[in-house]
């Protein structure tokens, strides 16, 4: 065979058996848009991918870089507008209702899975209500994250002469002063709006308590948003910002986490997906690092529930619908709930597992999270995270993000003026 004939044979074979088709599984494909792209997050999502592939489906990865999901949401919207949505996407909290009202999510794909797997009895009502649209499941919840954590490198604390984790804002500032004096970055931080607002909501919770947090960030009560407690919160936030890494602009959260892991910084305020980075670095909770509730917030739990929503597909795409159903079934299965959360830093969303965390092999941080989640559910301490799409619409969240980030980056900004701005921005976004 000469070269031309060989090439012609290759081309005709390729036409007959295109590469994709050769590898294609007749069972169907699921394309998943998500933003789990840090080392630890990727290890977690790979658990889902591996199981879906093992079940005979093709996983098309739609990862969009950028923690917190703002970029992923922009990509998702533009794909939906151009009539090309993926079959599954990471969509959370009240936003699920907005996507549902556009008629883009499927209200019948998950029903048989939910019934067979008894989802209603596995999930708390608060969770199942969030992932249902007009009474039908349109998304599968995968885990629960706690946002109000402070991550500490004890070795760095020791070198700076600090003997215990701070439990009040005053102790936090004192620790920050010692860290700075010893030449460390006191508070590792990435200057991105969602990270700034993660810090802001921790301070709201610390200063105002769970009731004040609810009034300001969930009920969007104007009096609370512009009142003296908000002015105090913003005053504390200004002080706290002086401990943040000066080179934080645009830095990803996992890069900031690495500064604490590698001993350059003493602390980071971040949800427990930060633990996925410690786990990926083979560090042990309680030994190599400490997780404590952010000072003043130990009686509260700001939650962030990750969920994967299923889009409406054409009825003839039976295989792809089966792939959506398989993913949903896997996601709430006991083994996945355990392995995924251990990698991700979260706790299971299945209530039957939350009482058995030690037996299931979860570490000290996860055991504390589960205990606090169950306790705070009874006292009103359990509150949805504003910074992580759980409390408000994305429009209102955007108003918070703008005001908070501008404030943190302008040392001259006045807390009282900013509280007024916050009230006005939230009102006009409602």
Q: Residue 278 interacts with ligand GAL (CB under 6 A)?
A: no
Burial classification of residue 102, based on how many CB atoms lie within 10 Å of its CB (0-12 exposed, 13-18 middle, 19 or more buried): exposed
Beta-bridged to residue 309, according to DSSP, are 89, 139
DSSP code, position 289: B
The tokens describing 359, both together, are: 């037996």
Q: Residue 277 interacts with ligand GAL (CB under 6 A)?
A: no
Burial classification of residue 135, based on how many CB atoms lie within 10 Å of its CB (0-12 exposed, 13-18 middle, 19 or more buried): exposed
Backbone angles phi, psi at 118, to 5 degrees: 55, 50
Which H or E run includes 265? strand 265-269
DSSP code, position 67: G
Contacts of 48 (CB under 8 A, 6+ apart): 32, 142, 327, 330, 331, 336, 340
Q: How many angstroms separate the first and last alpha carbons of the chain?
A: 71
Which residue, 217 or 419, has its beta carbon nearer to ligand GAL? 217
Per-residue contact string for residues 217-256; x = within reach of ligand GAL by CB under 6 A: ------------------------------------x---
Which residue, 35 or 400, has its beta carbon nearer to ligand GAL? 35
CB of 122 to ligand GAL, least distance (A): 20
Per-residue contact string for residues 67-106; x = within reach of ligand GAL by CB under 6 A: xxx-------------------------------------
Part of the chain binding ligand GAL (CB under 6 A), chosen from 7-15, 33-41, 79-87, 229-237: 33-41
Part of the chain binding ligand GAL (CB under 6 A), chosen from 61-69, 132-140, 201-209, 362-370: 61-69
In this chain, which of 273, 311, 340, 400 binds ligand GAL, going by CB under 6 A? 273
Part of the chain binding ligand GAL (CB under 6 A), chosen from 64-72, 99-107, 258-266, 314-322: 64-72
In this chain, which of 28, 30, 32, 35 binds ligand GAL, going by CB under 6 A? 35
177 vs 31: CA distance, rounded Å: 48
Q: Residue 193 interacts with ligand GAL (CB under 6 A)?
A: no
Q: Residue 340 interacts with ligand GAL (CB under 6 A)?
A: no
Residues that bind ligand GAL (CB under 6 A): 35-36, 41, 67-69, 145, 253, 273, 304, 306, 388
């Amino acid at each position: 065979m000469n070269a031309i004939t060989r090439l012609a044979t290759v081309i005709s074979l390729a036409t007959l058996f295109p590469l994709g088709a050769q590898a294609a599984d007749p069972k169907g494909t699921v394309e998943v848009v998500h933003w789990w792209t840090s080392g630890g997050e990727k290890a977690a999502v790979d658990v889902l991918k591996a199981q879906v592939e093992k079940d005979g489906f093709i996983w098309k990865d739609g990862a969009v870089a950028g923690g917190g999901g703002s970029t992923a949401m922009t990509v998702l919207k533009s794909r939906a507008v151009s009539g090309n949505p993926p079959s599954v996407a990471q969509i959370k909290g009240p936003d699920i209702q907005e996507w549902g009202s556009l008629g883009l999510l499927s209200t019948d794909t998950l029903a048989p899975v939910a019934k067979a797997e008894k989802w209603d009895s596995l999930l708390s009502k608060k969770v199942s209500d969030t992932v249902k649209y007009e009474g039908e499941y349109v998304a599968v919840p995968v885990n629960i994250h706690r946002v109000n954590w402070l991550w500490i490198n004890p070795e760095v604390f020791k070198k700076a002469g600090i003997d215990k984790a701070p439990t009040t804002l005053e102790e936090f500032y004192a620790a920050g002063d010692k860290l700075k004096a010893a030449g460390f970055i006191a508070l590792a931080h990435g200057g991105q709006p969602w990270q700034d607002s993660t810090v802001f909501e921790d301070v709201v919770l610390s200063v105002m308590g769970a009731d004040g947090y609810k009034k300001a960030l969930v009920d969007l009560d104007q009096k609370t948003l512009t009142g003296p407690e908000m002015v105090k919160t913003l005053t504390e936030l200004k002080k706290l910002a002086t401990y943040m890494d000066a080179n934080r602009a645009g830095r990803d959260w996992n890069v900031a986490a690495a500064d604490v892991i590698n001993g350059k910084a003493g602390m980071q305020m971040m949800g427990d997906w930060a633990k996925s980075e410690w786990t990926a670095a083979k560090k042990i909770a309680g030994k190599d690092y400490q997780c404590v509730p952010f000072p003043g917030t130990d009686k509260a739990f700001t939650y962030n529930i990750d969920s994967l929503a299923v889009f409406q597909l054409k009825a003839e795409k039976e295989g792809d619908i089966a792939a959506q159903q398989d993913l949903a079934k896997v996601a709430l299965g006991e083994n996945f709930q355990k392995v995924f959360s251990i990698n991700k830093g979260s706790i299971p969303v299945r209530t039957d597992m939350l009482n058995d965390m030690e037996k299931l092999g979860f570490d000290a941080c996860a055991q504390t999270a589960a205990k606090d989640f169950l306790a705070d559910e009874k006292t009103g301490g359990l509150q949805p995270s504003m910074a992580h799409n759980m409390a408000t619409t994305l429009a209102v969240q955007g108003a918070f993000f703008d005001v908070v980030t501008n404030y943190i980056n302008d040392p001259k900004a006045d807390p009282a003026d900013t509280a007024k701005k916050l009230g006005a921005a939230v009102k006009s976004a409602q």
